[in-house]
Amino acid sequence: MVSMLHSLAEVVGPNHVVTDPDVLAGRGVDHTGRYRGRASALVRPGTAEQVAEVLRLCRDAGAHVTVQGGRTSLVAGTVPEHDDVLLSTERLHALDGVDTVERRARVGAGATLAAVQRAATAAGLLFGVDLAARDTATVGGMASTNAGGLRTVRYGNMGEQLVGLQVALPDGSLLSRRSGVRRDNTGYDLPSLFVGAEGTLGVITGLDLCLHPTPRHRVTAVCGFADLEALVDAGRTFRDTDGIAALELVDGRAAALTGEHLGVGSPVEGDWLLLVELAADHDQTDRLADLLDGAHMCSEPAVGVDVGAQQRLWQVREALADVLGVHGPPLKFDVSLPLASIGGFAREAADLVAAHAPEALPVLFGHIGEGNLHLNVLRCPVDRERALYEPMMELIARSGGNVSSEHGVGTRKRRYLGMSREAADIAAMRTIKAALDPTGYLNAAVLFD
């Protein structure tokens, strides 16, 4: 180990190999605070070439490596299990400018989402993925989990924003697919292999991101519903509407919490809230009004036409990130469901929580257009987590959903992968993993049980 650490220091510089126990202990805790691991060292390479060399040295020394970006994983995806070397991409934060003609940006994997958004905005463009964790989430990590977020209904997930990728492979080589053409269809689509692979096949070091024109007009509304099925029906209509920019479900119980603790209450009455936004190069206000006329709401909607009013309405959704932890780290379930199953799932999930953790409070929110939802169980004692987790996974599978949506499988959900993937599918993934990482040293705790 001493020899390997010395070699790593020669590659990245002695200041970027950290063995301080307090630092490592802090890096071994996941974003939720519920899961912990152990590590032997933290290494912070500053270039793609250094990342590749670090991987080669660790492989040759037989050391496990866990990759860390912004450490916003909610499924213990960055928690080490084998006294690992932690490889941080935090120094790979370069933004090499925005090409306004081709509408693309070349960025390092450690660049935060917020930094990419600022660069795009300064160039009069827009990046299509937005998350509440934008200030800390890194675009490399977001690609590794194929993150979606608040604009998925219009622009799609991270995989749909990529026009180029650079990856350090487990053998210490660099793969660069960063063509200047708009449609690169020569040979295998290798970059897509690393999107959603959660760092098990290689370390993303750089990305070429697709940017979009900024719509000149936006209109936002928050609508209240007494019945979740009625909200889902309205969401289905909005999802298929040209100009849809956002479509978010918010549990009325969550809105009550933001009102109580942050003073950001719901602007409308309803057990379930729907935030909808249309955006285009022409005014969408009348069109939104026509669409809302057909929705079975329980109160008049709140509509924002100017920027200030829209920001106030968005607070209903954005404030959730700050209030979910008010009772301690919540137990999180990130799920993907058919729209027709959402109402039944919400009822059965609440019954499960009541049966296994009666003092806990389930709140549901997320991206209703795709059925990508986040169930957070607040006030759930740690000793009740195991009793609740597996029945919830079984309910998700029984409802026709996937046990992971946009947060990844990570370490926490790896034993349930078979609920969403057939045996042949998992075997094929393992074959690819073995081909690129024969010793299985890279992100060994992630994805596969």
Q: What is the DSSP string of 85-98?
A: EEEE-TT---EEEE
Please check the confidence at residue 410 and state whether its pLDDT lies above 90: no
The DSSP-derived string for 20-33 is -HHHHHHHTB-TTS
In a domain, 9, yes or no: no
One-letter amino acid of 218: R
For 325, the 3-state DSSP assignment is coil
Between CA 162 and CA 157 the distance in angstroms is 10
Q: Are residues 209 and 246 in the same domain?
A: no
Using pLDDT thresholds of 50, 70 and 90, give the confidence band for residue 140. Answer: very high
- The answer, yes or no, to whether residue 51 has pLDDT greater than 80, is yes
Reported as type and span, the H/E element at residue 17 is strand 17-18
- Residues of the domain holding 268: 215-324
Residue 218's pLDDT band (boundaries 50, 70, 90)? very high
Same domain, residue pair 101 and 206? yes
At 235 the pLDDT is 94
Are 274 and 368 within 8 A, CB to CB? yes
Mean pLDDT of all residues in 405-413 = 81
Asked whether residue 295 is domain-assigned, the answer is yes
Q: Does residue 439 sit within a domain?
A: no
The verdict on 192 and 111 lying in the same domain is yes
CATH at residue 309: 3.30.70.2190
pLDDT recorded at residue 200: 96
pLDDT attached to residue 75: 66
Cα–Cα distance, 412 to 434 (Å, whole number): 22
The SS3 of residue 127 is strand
Q: Which two tokens stand for residue 97?
A: 């400018």
Tell me the mean pLDDT in the region 359-388: 91
Of 16-20, 265-269, 320-324, 356-360, the range with the lowest mean pLDDT is 320-324
Whether residues 241 and 299 share a domain: the answer is: yes
Q: Answer yes or no: do 125 and 148 share one domain.
A: yes
Give me the pLDDT at residue 73, please.
74
pLDDT of residue 74: 63
**For residue 184, what are its two tokens?**
């690169």
Same domain? For 206 and 99 the reply is yes
Is there a contact between 109 and 194 (Cβ–Cβ < 8 Å)? Answer: no
| Count of domains for the chain | 3
Instruction: Of 428, 420, 375, give the one whose Cα is nearest residue 398.
Output: 420
| pLDDT one-digit tens code per residue, 173-183 | 999 998 877 77
- Say what the pLDDT of residue 128 is: 95
Does 353 reside within a domain?
Answer: yes
Same domain? 320 vs 331:
no
Q: What is the mean pLDDT of the chain?
A: 92
- Determine, yes or no, domain membership for 5: no
Task: Kindly state the average pLDDT of the residues 106-131.
Answer: 96
Q: How far apart are CA 139 and CA 114, in angstroms?
A: 10
pLDDT at 76 over 70: no
Contact 193/200 with Cβ under 8 angstroms? no
Is 182 found in the same domain as 99? Answer: yes
Residues 337 and 400 occupy one common structural domain: yes
Whole-prediction pTM value? 0.91
Burial zone of 448 (CB within 10 Å; 0-12 exposed, 13-18 middle, 19+ buried): middle
**Same domain for 315 and 376:** no
Is the Cβ–Cβ distance between 372 and 145 less than 8 Å? no
User: Within a domain: residue 35?
Assistant: no
Q: Return the minimum-mean-pLDDT range out of 46-55, 324-333, 433-442.
A: 324-333
The whole-number pLDDT of residue 409 equals 83
Provide the pLDDT for residue 42. 95
Q: What local confidence, expressed as pLDDT, does residue 382 receive?
A: 84
Q: Is there a domain that residue 259 lies in?
A: yes
Lowest mean pLDDT among 8-12, 364-368, 411-415: 411-415
Instruction: Supply the pLDDT for residue 184.
Output: 79
User: Is the pLDDT assigned to residue 252 strictly greater than 70?
Assistant: yes
From 407, 439, 360, select the one nearest 147 (Cα to Cα).
407
Mark whether 221 and 311 lie in a shared domain: yes
Does the CA dihedral 380-319-196-231 come out positive or negative?
positive
Q: What is the CATH number of the domain that holds 108?
A: 3.30.465.10
235 and 319 belong to one structural domain: yes
